[in-house]
Structure 1
Amino acid sequence: MARTQGSRADITGPLIRDKARKLFASQGYAAVSMRQIGSEVGVQAGALYAYTADKQALLHDLLESHMQELLAAWRDDPTADPLSRLEAFVRFHIDFSLDHPDAVFLSYMELRNLTPENFTRIAELRGRYEAALEAILRDGMATGVMRIEDSKLATMALIAMLTGVTNWYRDGGRLDRHRIGDIYWGLARGAVGAH
């Protein structure tokens, strides 16, 4: 599609994504129109279609790019002991989530608005991230440093617990990020039955 005259793809495209992410997170995907997004960006709604096929494609792109960024940022060291790896995952997940609260919110609350095909793609990416944590838990079980009845369930429970930090954390609050990481690490260690 041709770009709107006077627009710059390197500026307008990211601006559309940023404004859409904020609107979807604050008002919900179903309540936001392309006209609203265009208004926030400062372009006519029709101009948005030079950058995205439709609102569904925009949501999918936001969720997919978030998951791709998350997967690219996470680094595991399979040679380290499982508890050190779990601690690294806990601290990474909290920091990444707090740096991307709107994207995290969308990833959990707006999955239901994806078409089946788009949902399948995002679910596959989420599955890769969940598998990274589950591998740590399985190694911890195998070495006897973690006592877990079901590694899959423990994976889902830990991710839900860690992601919940975005619901209440505010910069400048009673606890700084590092202290929150310490506390969540203690909770995660207890949840996996580690000594």
Structure 2
Amino acid sequence: MTRTVANGASNTGERIKVAARHLFARDGYAAVSMRQLAAEVGVQAGALYLHIPDKQSLLFDLLRENMETLLVAWDAEPRGEGPVGRLESFVRFHIRMHLDNPDSVFLANMELRNLTPENFAVIAGLRDQYEAELVAILRDGGASDEMRVPDAHLAAKALLAMLTGVSAWYQDGGRLSRDRVERIYWNMVRRAVGA
């Protein structure tokens, strides 16, 4: 079967992103050279620049795509009834997305410091959008007296830190199933907000 140039270029661009995500998560953004990335992809170092402007742009694209994917997926996620049901949906969604994408989660949390100020501002804006979803749920829960949350912004930050941490320790095939982890975390979150 003959492959068109466009398909080949698209395939190489995607292979670059997959390799970069893996290498950046494993070795750290600063430690990965373009030559190392090219070797991982199986192309000459100069060929990378046919697909990406530079390493900073690559990191930014990976982080932006991760956040945009997260926001789109959350937008499509079915919601439970009322603030408590919505909170449970959010908790379970967040855990699933983070367990399914550990390299992306690692980059999103550990490599922000390597972004230029302009790129950081874009990613921070996307992260703020996602956090605002949780803040709205917590505010609605407080307004309806279904939750006891003295500061929705602070509670959202604390809950996100706790939920995101699952990707650092969870291993498929380990002592706890994903479903069990979701249930345990949901019960901890429910108690934390007094629901």
**TM-score above 0.5, yes or no:** yes
TM-score range, shorter chain: over 0.9
How far apart are residue 10 of structure 1 and its match? 2.1
- Alignment partner, residue 21 of structure 1: 21
AA paired with 1:48?
Answer: L
- Map 1:44-123 → 2, pairs under 5 A: 44-75=44-75, 80-123=81-124
AA paired with 1:37?
Answer: L
**Distance in 2 between residues matched to 1:33 and 1:54, nearest whole Å:** 11
- Give the TM-score normalised by the residue count of structure 2: 0.94
How far apart are residue 146 of structure 1 and its match? 0.7
**Distance in 2 between residues matched to 1:14 and 1:28, nearest whole Å:** 20
How far apart are residue 80 of structure 1 and its match? 2.6
Deviations 1:46-84, CA, capped at 9 Å, x for gaps:
110111110000000000000000000003677831000
**2:189 alignment partner, SS class:** helix
Q: 1:142 to 1:78 in 2, by over 3 A?
A: farther
How far apart are residue 7 of structure 1 and its match? 8.3
Deviations 1:100-152, CA, capped at 9 Å, x for gaps:
10000000000000000000000000000000010000000000011111100
- Alignment partner, residue 8 of structure 2: 8
Deviations 1:155-180, CA, capped at 9 Å, x for gaps:
01111100000011001011111110
Check if 1:137 corresponds to 2:134: no
Check if 1:31 corresponds to 2:31: yes
**1:16 alignment partner, SS class:** helix
- Alignment partner, residue 161 of structure 1: 162
Give the percent of matched residue pairs that are identical in Structure 1 and Structure 2.
60
Flag structure 1 segments of 5+ consecutive residues without an equivalent.
none
**Distance in 2 between residues matched to 1:73 and 1:187, nearest whole Å:** 24
**Distance in 2 between residues matched to 1:191 and 1:45, nearest whole Å:** 50
**Distance in 1 between residues matched to 2:141 and 2:15, nearest whole Å:** 43
**Distance in 2 between residues matched to 1:25 and 1:126, nearest whole Å:** 19
Q: 1:7 to 1:49 in 2, by over 3 A?
A: farther
How far apart are residue 190 of structure 1 and its match? 1.2
- Alignment partner, residue 191 of structure 1: 192
Q: 1:77 to 1:98 in 2, by over 3 A?
A: closer
**Distance in 2 between residues matched to 1:60 and 1:42, nearest whole Å:** 22
Flag structure 2 segments of 5+ consecutive residues without an equivalent.
none
